Chain A
Amino acid sequence: MKQYEAFPITADLNRRDFIYGGSVAALVAIVAAKEVAAQEKSKPAEGEAQKPAGPPVKCGVIGCGVWGRDIINTLLRLPNAHVTAVCDHYEAFLNRAKSIAPDAKGYADFKELLADKNVQAVLIATPTHQHRAIAEAAFKAGKHVYCEAPIAHTAEDGKAIATAAKAAPRSNFQTGLLMRSEPQRQFLLPFIRSGAAGKNIKARAQRHKKESWRRAAANPEREKELNWRLDRNLSTGLVGEIGIQQIDLLSWFLNTKPLSVTGFGSVVYWADGRAVPDSITAIFEYPGGVLLTYEATLGNSFDADYEMLYGTDAAVMVRQNKAWMFKEADSPLLGWEVYARKDDFYKETGIALVANATKLAALGEKPAEEVPFTNTPLFYALDAFLYNSRLIAGGVEDFIANFGDSDAAALRDYIADFAKNKMPAAGWQEGYESLVTVLKANEAILTGKKLAFTKDLFEV
């Protein structure tokens, strides 16, 4: 079984080279690799899902639009999942979902799906404003809950979901902040947090994609329902519906919460009567004067999406499943970068930050093979959800089998401690904090104001 691997030594460095060559740099590289590998050893195998013993988790997917069907397709690839039910009140979507998962039972009403004993976990992929009612009912039904991000379209709804999740220790809750489970980002986290790029100066992320967001429907009612993202009352805008992923990621890397946000937005290209801006910029201010600039547009696709973190010693760029470091001329030599693969970016040289690159080198096998993470972030997020759901379910089952069901406090404490061993994933706290961050940003974009985040805003 392959394993996430540690550090970016992509040259032909191996134990033999070290022993016979007596290279100090090689020693540094191996030590560096070991240190990071020690933090990374909990990760699942690249390209393989975690396979704890036991039957697959019986999943019900609620909301079978494009994203819901992506979820179904991904679940079908995961050995820990069994899609037993799908739900959508729109018949055409439900039929499409059933054609993907023909064994699944189809429901038009989510309440009927929640009453199905053959469903252990629900995955909510409906429009954002419908999440609350479904999530609360799912917790009451004792299901594990995966709720797409943003978890809600208002802070009130988001807090209600987070509160319900917090009060349901027997249910595993995960929100769809995909980057929290994505292995390349997981690999980068200790690297960035360790200060390898120096003191954080600023961050930037963008998402450029030329697409309308408006979708055609058979009748005006359906069109209104389908185009909820273009309705200011229901939509969290570009910054919320899409930007939440990258903004959450960079806040996580920076290990802090924003103090204020200033926003700008306008309808530049898709002037079809919509009131939700198609091009936005939001500038978040973090402690220490660190600024995060987030840009998104539906009018141009150049340079797609990526995240940048600028430190005093280096800048780090993350693009999909790859990352590079761009060193400052006066930054200290870390050692391993001598052997790392280099890629040219116009006038700059990027040092590849590649997980999985050192294992073979460290073991003395040639050539040192670079294996990027090829699965989608959704794959890793759902893999974590399934693993964690089974972990929690097993913990609850074992506790009750040994001590009964009467001491709710002891059960809650036991599961809280036991759940420390979950695979990395975003829970209710991350889901709520990211929600209020983007809601405030969307408000700033729509009003053109600078708005402050108060501490209590993030509390559940």
Chain B
Amino acid sequence: MRHLIILSLLLPVLHIAARAEVIRFMAQPVGSKIRVEGTSNIHDWFMEGGLIGGFIEVDEKFPVKADAKPTLGKFPARVDVRVPIRSLNTSGKAAMNTVMQGAIKMENHPLINFKASELVLKEAKDGKLTFEAPGTLAVAGVAKNLLLPVTMEYAEGGKLKFKGEAKVKMTDFGIKPPSPALALGLIKTDDEVKITFEWFAARAAAK
């Protein structure tokens, strides 16, 4: 009897929770790519990888399907995207990998992490949605606010494809631009780097 009373009291709460459905899209193992490009006194360099993990959670108002007619404005979301630093390989391969991994303090901070709590839809045109994601980018143990412009497209199999680009300074994250003695001698890398990414996420099966 006591259980029945408790259950009847909880029912309205459960009903609300059910109405505010959380839809989770999980990172997919195939198709994603990230590239960090920089310059130096000798030549341009890059780091790139194909592993972007994490998830994005949205509610039922978020335009998860291609036939959605979204209104511009804010959408609550929980974005948590991570890139293992050792999955990134540099244009200089083994030797430069070691240099960059050391500079980014991989041993203590093995992930690059971007988190956001909302997505602001700025434009919806021809199946491509342009958002701004105000969030925090954490690299080498330092988190900095970042307004990340992101486009979203509907990919095959109900997947979402997010694409974006940002320019950041290494020194903002406490990273000293590496100056290794490689190849022809002392390479002095420049502070600013450009990060580009394509990230595929697919709807997680309901539990």
Report whether chain A binds chain B: yes
Complex alpha-carbon distance, A362 and B187, angstroms: 13
Known: A41-B92, A411-B29. A34 touches B98 (CB 8 A): no
- Stretch from A122-130, A253-261, A412-420 at the B interface: A412-420
The residue in chain B whose Cβ has the minimal distance to the Cβ of A34 is B184
Residue contact B51 to A414, C-beta cutoff 8 Å: yes
- The 8 Å CB contact of B98, one of A50, A362, A395, is A50
Complex alpha-carbon distance, A276 and B92, angstroms: 47
- The 8 Å CB contact of A421, one of B53, B89, B102, B183, is B89
What is the interface size of chain B, counting residues whose CB is below 8 A from a CB of the partner?
33
Across chains A and B, the number of contacting residue pairs, with CB separation under 8 Å, is 110
CB under 8 Å from chain A, chain B span 85-123 = 86-87, 89, 92-98, 101-102, 106-107
Residue contact B86 to A44, C-beta cutoff 8 Å: no
Residue contact A45 to B51, C-beta cutoff 8 Å: no
Residue contact A52 to B98, C-beta cutoff 8 Å: yes
Complex alpha-carbon distance, A103 and B49, angstroms: 38
Residue contact B53 to A403, C-beta cutoff 8 Å: yes
Q: Which residues of the other chain, A, contact B106 by a CB distance below 8 angstroms?
A: 53
Residue contact B50 to A418, C-beta cutoff 8 Å: yes
Cβ contacts A377-398/B at 8 Å (1 or 0 each): 0000000000100010011001
Say whether A359 faces chain B, with CB atoms less than 8 Å apart.
yes
Residue contact A398 to B186, C-beta cutoff 8 Å: no
Residue contact A45 to B95, C-beta cutoff 8 Å: yes
Complex alpha-carbon distance, A387 and B101, angstroms: 14
Complex alpha-carbon distance, A33 and B42, angstroms: 13
Q: Which residues of the other chain, B, contact A41 by a CB distance below 8 angstroms?
A: 92-93, 95-96, 182-183
Say whether A54 faces chain B, with CB atoms less than 8 Å apart.
yes
Say whether B180 faces chain A, with CB atoms less than 8 Å apart.
yes
Q: Which residues of the other chain, A, contact B54 by a CB distance below 8 angstroms?
A: 402
Residue contact B87 to A2, C-beta cutoff 8 Å: no
Residue contact B53 to A40, C-beta cutoff 8 Å: no
Cβ contacts A8-45/B at 8 Å (1 or 0 each): 00000000000000000000000001100110111111
CB under 8 Å from chain A, chain B span 152-200 = 180-186
Q: Which residues of the other chain, B, contact A54 by a CB distance below 8 angstroms?
A: 107
Complex alpha-carbon distance, A394 and B184, angstroms: 30
The residue in chain B whose Cβ has the minimal distance to the Cβ of A365 is B185
The residue in chain A whose Cβ has the minimal distance to the Cβ of B51 is A398
Say whether A51 faces chain B, with CB atoms less than 8 Å apart.
yes
The residue in chain A whose Cβ has the minimal distance to the Cβ of B105 is A53
The residue in chain A whose Cβ has the minimal distance to the Cβ of B53 is A402
Residue contact A42 to B94, C-beta cutoff 8 Å: yes
- The 8 Å CB contact of B51, one of A37, A40, A402, A407, is A402
Chain A nearest CB from B32 CB (Å) reads: 10
Complex alpha-carbon distance, A264 and B75, angstroms: 79
Show 20 residue pairs from A and B whose CB-CB distance is below 8 angstroms, ordered by the A residue.
A1-B180, A1-B181, A3-B181, A3-B182, A3-B183, A37-B183, A38-B183, A40-B183, A41-B183, A43-B95, A44-B95, A53-B101, A53-B106, A362-B185, A363-B184, A391-B86, A402-B51, A411-B29, A417-B50, A421-B93
Task: Please report B residues at the A interface, Cβ cutoff 8 Å.
Answer: 27-30, 43, 49-51, 53-54, 82, 84, 86-87, 89, 92-98, 101-102, 106-107, 180-186
Closest 4 CB pairs of A and B: A402-B53, A42-B93, A421-B89, A41-B183
Known: A410-B30, A418-B87. 7 other contacts (CB 8 A): A44-B95, A50-B98, A358-B184, A362-B184, A402-B29, A414-B29, A414-B30
